[in-house]
Amino acid sequence: MDIIEKVRQFVEDECQKPTSKYGYEPYTNHFVPVVKYAKELAQELGADEEIVEIASWIHDIGSIMIGREDHHITGAKIAEEKLREFGYPEEKIKLVKNCVLHHRGSQKMELETLEEQILAEADAMSAFDDIASLFGAAFVCEHLTKEESRKSVLGKLENKWNQVKFEKSKEIIRPKFEAVKILLK
CATH number of domain containing 71: 1.10.3210.10
pLDDT digits (tens, 9 = 90+) for 123-176: 999 999 999 989 988 888 789 999 999 999 999 999 999 999 999 999 999 999
**How many distinct structural domains can be found in the chain?**
1
Q: Given this model, what pLDDT does residue 115 score?
A: 96
The domain containing residue 135 runs over which residues? 3-184
Which has the higher per-residue pLDDT, 128 or 20? 128
List CB contacts of 22: < 8 A, sequence separation 6 or more.
Answer: 15, 63, 64
Burial of 45 (0-12, 13-18, 19+ CB in 10 A): middle
Contact 102, 52 (CB under 8 A): no
pLDDT digits (tens, 9 = 90+) for 64-94: 999 878 888 999 999 999 999 999 999 999 9
